[in-house]
Amino acid sequence: MRWRLRLRGDALLTLILGAALSLLLYAQRDGRAPTTRAPRAQGRAARGPTPRLRVFQAPDEGAALQVYEEDTPEPPTPTGPFDFRGYLRAKDQRRFPLLINQPHKCRGDGAPGAGPDLLIAVKSVAADFERRQAVRQTWGAEGRVQGALVRRVFLLGVPKGAGSDPTEAEGTGSQARWRALLRAESRTYTDILLWAFDDTFFNLTLKEIHFLAWASAYCPNVRFVFKGDADVFMHVGNLLEFLAARDPAQDLLVGDVIVQARPIRARASKYYIPEAVYGLPAYPAYAGGGGFVLSGATLRRLAGACAQVELFPIDDVFLGMCLQRLRLTPEPHPAFRTFGIPQPSAAPHLRTFDPCFYRELVVVHGLSAADIWLMWHLLHGSPGPACAHPQPVAAGPFQWGP
């Protein structure tokens, strides 16, 4: 009898442990899925934006400090300890040759003086061909969208260690391989811009100023420019709807705006900024680099301003410094979710990777290539997502439906 009771107890314990393990695995699986926060308005956010600044408040005495790194996405390329001595020696070097160009990218549809209504510029790295393909086949497709002419370019530097001197011979091994691959990709898709600087996280500022100079020279008539990362999902229709009421001849830069972000002084951080490089207690207001939109007029003014601002190793902060020089304030918009969106606390078990959420937004940051492709087809497939409100409703505070 005791043996049977012991056996039954062991069996019951095994069932309990098995159930607990299953729940743990299920939770981990859900935790890896992309998440978004429900939009604040049931209607299309682009119709009536509610300004929303990400403010880094001064903490209470004794509380843990809020710092820039906590709300910053992972860099597009792995980085090691940053060599500030080398950076300070080379920081004034800001002109690098253009190895692959697309001089005819911004030609219109034949009308004299015409240019694209929207130029999509995506930061990428040479090895990330999969993400570039996902963008090309989904939200970054070229052509007419809602009557607007859309064009696309990818912004690249030289893979670190592959050699960035354009006068060097083609060579062999990895240097020859990356050059051949990017040239073949450029011939096929005509959307690669490649400059002769090392493609590292801290050189994203170089990518910024070189693109502004390129767009000013080769796209003088572009109406609007969206600039973002390759791991974002962008709803082109919502963006164009928002821009329809805007004048490209007026200043405009809209995104997920950060104010009062403080530089990190901890040497162990990859975002470490010593006081010798930036001595002020807070950065100027800037738009998160995951994705923002600007007018053609602002693009041309920024190109001139950034040429006069000392280079800074964090690209979106650097752009905020250029805006500050122009005395322009970036405009916040709640549909730009460039720092990732946690699940709402009111429904922690809600699966928010759902087209009914994404159809209300403009930008969501931090998706894999497969997730970008999947969400695009969920939104644009036939008959389309079955949402609780298939038609836009009046804008207002978000409320959970039945």
- pLDDT for res 212: 97
Domain-located, residue 35: no
pLDDT for position 64: 40
Instruction: Confirm whether 265 is domain-assigned.
Output: yes
Domain count, the chain: 1
The answer as to whether 66 is a domain residue is: no
Residue 57 lies in a domain: no
Q: Whole domain around residue 231: which residue ranges? A: 84-164+174-380
Would 239 be classed as within a structural domain? yes
pLDDT at 373: 94
Residue 20 lies in a domain: no
Please name the residues in contact with 99: beta carbons below 8 A apart, sequence gap of 6 or more. 158, 166, 194, 195, 196
Characterize 59-96 residue by residue with b for buried, 16 or more Cβ atoms within 10 angstroms of its Cβ, and e for exposed: eeeeeeebbbeebbbeebbeeeebebeeeeeeeeebeb
37, part of any domain: no
pTM of the model: 0.75
| CATH number of the domain to which 184 belongs | 3.90.550.50
The pLDDT tens digits for 208-263 are: 999 999 999 999 999 999 999 999 999 999 999 999 999 999 999 999 999 999 99
In a domain, 293, yes or no: yes
Residue at 83: amino acid letter:
D
Positions in the chain short of pLDDT 50 = 1-7, 13, 17, 20-50, 56-79, 167, 169-171, 391-402
d(CA 267, CA 271) in angstroms, rounded, equals 9
pLDDT reported for residue 355: 84
pLDDT tens-digit readout, 296-320: 999 999 999 999 999 998 999 999 9
Note the pLDDT of residue 401.
Answer: 36
315-326 helix and 296-306 helix, angle to the nearest 10 degrees? 100
For residue 127, what pLDDT is reported?
92
The closest alpha carbon to 119, from 251, 233, 225, belongs to 225
